Structure 1
């Protein structure tokens, strides 16, 4: 089910007069003269979008009767097919040097298989395959136990509740100012 948009570029139906078409569109869209003037600026203007085929045809016919020639354009994006190059062949795993007659293979390496052209750039990456830890495994490295610092608090003591700890007392507030000489008069 396709979706369509209605586009107008200022073209008129053959034989239509510009003033009459502008008046018809102003009445149809209930728009002022300034908005109608922008429709006839020569630029492509989308009048309506996201319509089904029947609605798009109805809009086209209505606008054509008003004298405006519109384009009904499908909205589906054009999907371009891209053929990917085959991924390069992975190198065989190199063996570590022989130590005391026993050959040890290197740890497993990550093999990247490209899923699209962007991932193809990482096909030659040589990285260790770390894998996935089982469910419930502790992934954080073990931390050494922290020893508390060796402070000596034996010379300190706590004062009893309610005792004076030597805080400075706030001085008593001075006497209030004398306002007996002030008078309030009523003004009219």
Structure 2
């Protein structure tokens, strides 16, 4: 008995409006807008897995009525992944393997030239990346900090109070005298 999974990649049924499909899926899954937005991120999201054929068809039909085009994948089927390899680049004498080179003193970076080691890395042969180089051992990598000058303030109008003097804090109000309770008696 085959097992299936239902996956969604953000594709819609022809003629479906994206806002209407999002609202339909929110109602169908009883989910908030943030979770529905994750479904429409463009990445493949598995909605349900380990279904039999009848349940997978029911999910597919329901989601297509809501406007979402889903993919039904047979989990028990052979796993064949098609990989298209990029052709190896034509080697020229100007190309050389990546080497550690010190960074230029001017701060400008020159493009990094990479010689692919195999057909898989050939896909990255045309990637333009700056060559930052490697600093010599013991060199300080942190940028020098600019010296901070003290601000020019006019403090001539200020003076210091003598030691122990009152700086003008508000004094606490004297507490009220305790109430007179001499006329009160306890009864037995």
TM-score by length of 2: 0.41
Q: Which has more radius of gyration?
A: 1
TM-score by length of 1: 0.41
